[in-house]
Amino acid sequence: MSTTSFPLLQTINDPADLRRLSRADLKQLATELRAFVLQSVSQTGGHLSSNLGTVELTVALHHVFNTPEDRLVWDVGHQTYPHKILTGRRDRMHTLRQLGGISGFPQRAESVYDTFGTAHSSTSISAALGMALAAQRKGEDRHAVAIIGDGAMTAGMAFEALNNAGVADANLLVILNDNDMSISPPVGALNRYLAQLMSGHFYAAAKNVGKSVLKNAPPLLELAKRLEQQAKGMVVPATLFEKFGFNYIGPIDGHDLDSLIPTLENIKELKGPQFLHVVTKKGQGYKLAEADPVAYHGPGKFDPAVGLVKSTAAPKQTFTQVFGEWLCDMAAQDNRLVGITPAMREGSGMVEFHKRFPDRYYDVGIAEQHAITFAAGMACEGVKPVVAIYSTFLQRGYDQMIHDVALQNLPVVFALDRAGLVGADGATHAGAYDIPFVRCIPNMSMACPADERECRQLLSTAFEQAHPVAVRYPRGSGAGVAPLRGLEGLPFGKGEIRRERKDEGTDASRIAILAFGTLLYPALQAAEALDATVVNMRWAKPLDIALLLDVAARHDALVTLEEGAIMGGAGSAVLEALAAAKVVLPVLQLGLPDAFIEHGDPAKLLALQGLDTAGIENAIRGHFRQG
């Protein structure tokens, strides 16, 4: 990427360089940094709106604090592109979210400036508090700053950390990057003045002197506290955070360096837990993203001068779209259905459902635990909840799935999007573990549709059951098998043979491939070269035991195939079932290894794991020495 348009930015190789700049130069740096983010993301794809909104905040933080000695913990992690650019990774931004390139999220192994890996939300305050108290225990004088935004304050974990931090006597700064809908009146000169005043030495000293003078007169001290809260409450929403034990400052304009820098400099000198509220705008500086921050949240490659252009080619239907259409159709047929999402309306394909059935749509915020127990409560009253949740985010509600849903055997449907590898978002968002962690829970069932048609049918099957069922499906499109328009399901817990081995007269090993999910289609292609039987198992739990034992009796070896963790996965279920039936024959398990798979093109990642057609064929030939 050419740096001719970024003369000041190209001189910044680490934050120490920008600490030498004047205020005027910092403003010019912010302008260049915003343009660089836009140019960079337009060439690679990635998160845009959130990063355009954190430019000035990032510049101010690295200017005021002595990073990496002072710890910055970013939450949500997809707002850190400006941070990456200013911390020595400017020349690698062209590799963003690509195989072998830099991550789209903070990653400790990538840079000393990435002090904590964050990609799931609402973890920053807990992590920064841990860092602050660790520094205190070690006698080290350093600052810990949690930057939390993009709705992450809706999660209970953030408030658990606030509750702990307020009584922990830690030198912790929490910055609320309020970038969606401000909870305060518009910011301006008065707010700027008050923020600097409340963060300054005079205010802090006066507050402490007042406490000392009045400590022997409790009624007067309590009156003084109430007067202070009332005075602050007239211009700022301080009360909530003050109750947690924080000194609340703000709100201030998060795009105004003349406000940010002196306020941060004042806060840096204060002791104890501080809370700074900054208001930013998603897409700031790029009119198209400002007007539609959702569309520009995570765009692919595009021309910044033109903006996003809808493709004229007919796209293949995605699994997410299949789910969205099924949800609307089933809701029209059954008024018991409600849809629940933890802040993933667009990602989970629920936009149309929200429009058509607004009174049956529940977005609970980034609160996966609450979403699941909320669904359980509804199910107790005869409602039929469908929880649309990414596989990786269901991990955050695991206890609730066990204790509140499965233990009570409540008919909740879990629509697990992003099952398997997810590509550019990498290990933090991969849905690699849902089969192992769901199938070990009593009363739970797990369906693994092979294509778009089966996805719709198995969602219907799941909805018909009187117990909890999860249906897992990947990001993007599948084999392109058009769904049927009806709502008929498939037989519960039953698979099917999709290809029978043809050459029964040879002495070669008779092999059957048991496919769970969308890897059925590369299995069918590999089977042509191997002359193998292929079974579409459809269900990881319950297994179709009768079909399994029939296939095992007619073959010399089995291969299990899944886009999920091998350890404890569907292949393990097959081995357990064979052992229970006292059937002994060789079984090769193919799936994701005991390792975190990093970001990259999904097809390349699958090939690297040997889960494409060629990899499946080679693994089987090598293991059983065929051909």
* Catalytic choice (32, 56, 242, 368): 368
Which among 62, 74, 69, 197 has a CA at the least distance from the CA of 128? Answer: 74
Please check whether residue 53 is in contact with residue 30, taking contact to mean a CB–CB distance below 8 angstroms. no
- The strand order across the sheet containing 413-417 reads 361-363, 337-341, 384-390, 413-417, 469-472, 445-447, 539-541
Cα–Cα distance, 79 to 293 (Å, whole number): 13
Please give the structure tokens belonging to residue 138.
């070690």
Q: Rounded to the nearest 10 degrees, what angle do helices 319-333 and 452-464 cross at?
A: 40
* Catalytic choice (396, 439, 501, 541): 396
Identify the three-state secondary structure at position 71: strand
Could you count the other beta carbons within 10 Å of the beta carbon of residue 412?
27
Q: DSSP letter string over 264-326? A: HHHHHT--S-EEEEEE--TTTT-HHHHH-TTTTSS--S-BTTTB----SS-PPPBHHHHHHHH
DSSP character for 477?
Answer: B
Q: Which residue has the tokens 């070896």?
A: 557
Q: What are phi and psi of 174, to 5 degrees?
A: -105, 125
Who contacts 286 (Cβ-Cβ below 8 Å, separation ≥6)?
Answer: 34, 38, 48, 52, 296, 304
Q: Which residue has the tokens 């198209």?
A: 288
Cα–Cα distance, 176 to 166 (Å, whole number): 16
Please give the structure tokens belonging to residue 72.
């910055």
- The strand order across the sheet containing 274-279 reads 71-75, 144-149, 172-178, 274-279, 247-253
Cα–Cα distance, 183 to 190 (Å, whole number): 17
Please give the structure tokens belonging to residue 83.
């941070």
456-495 burial string, b = 16+ CB within 10 Å, else e? bbbbbbbbbeeebbbbbbbbebbeeeebeeebebbebbeb
> Active-site residue 368, yes or no?
yes
* Catalytic choice (90, 97, 282, 541): 282
> Active-site residue 396, yes or no?
yes
Which among 504, 511, 467 has a CA at the least distance from the CA of 621? Answer: 511
Pairing of strands 247-253, 274-279: parallel
The catalytic site residues sit at 282, 368, 396
